[in-house]
């Protein structure tokens, strides 16, 4: 699995929609590639912060949030509707 594939599979892996063979490859990649592990961590942190922002859907998106996080929050809100 390449880093590109890892990132593509990230969402499916987290929602446990990844078929078993790919999930095994995904986990193996995590063992081999520290940069993808840290990507996964920051991704989960983004989701966590995004959830917090989602608690108040009418509330302002935090001004100091990175661009990427703001996009994630807005995308998650869209999905939740």
Per CB under 5 A, residues contacting Zn ion are 3, 6, 33, 36
State the nearest-atom distance from the C-beta of 20 to Zn ion, in Å: 20
Cβ nearer to Zn ion, comparing 40 with 53: 40
Cβ nearer to Zn ion, comparing 26 with 53: 26
DSSP-derived secondary structure for 10-47: HHHHHTT-S-HHHHHHHHHHHHH-HHHHHHHHHHHHHH
Cβ nearer to Zn ion, comparing 40 with 73: 40
State the nearest-atom distance from the C-beta of 13 to Zn ion, in Å: 13
State the nearest-atom distance from the C-beta of 12 to Zn ion, in Å: 16
Q: Per-residue b/e over 17-42, b at no fewer than 16 CB within 10 Å?
A: ebeeeeeebbeebeeebeebeeebee
């Amino acid at each position: 699995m390449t880093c590109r594939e890892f990132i593509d599979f990230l969402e499916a892996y987290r929602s446990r929609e990844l078929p078993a063979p790919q999930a095994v490859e995904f986990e193996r990649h995590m063992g081999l590639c520290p940069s993808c592990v840290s990507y996964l961590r920051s991704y989960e942190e983004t989701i966590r912060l995004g959830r917090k922002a989602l608690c108040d859907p009418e509330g302002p998106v935090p001004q100091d949030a990175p661009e990427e996080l703001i996009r994630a929050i807005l995308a998650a809100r869209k999905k939740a509707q």
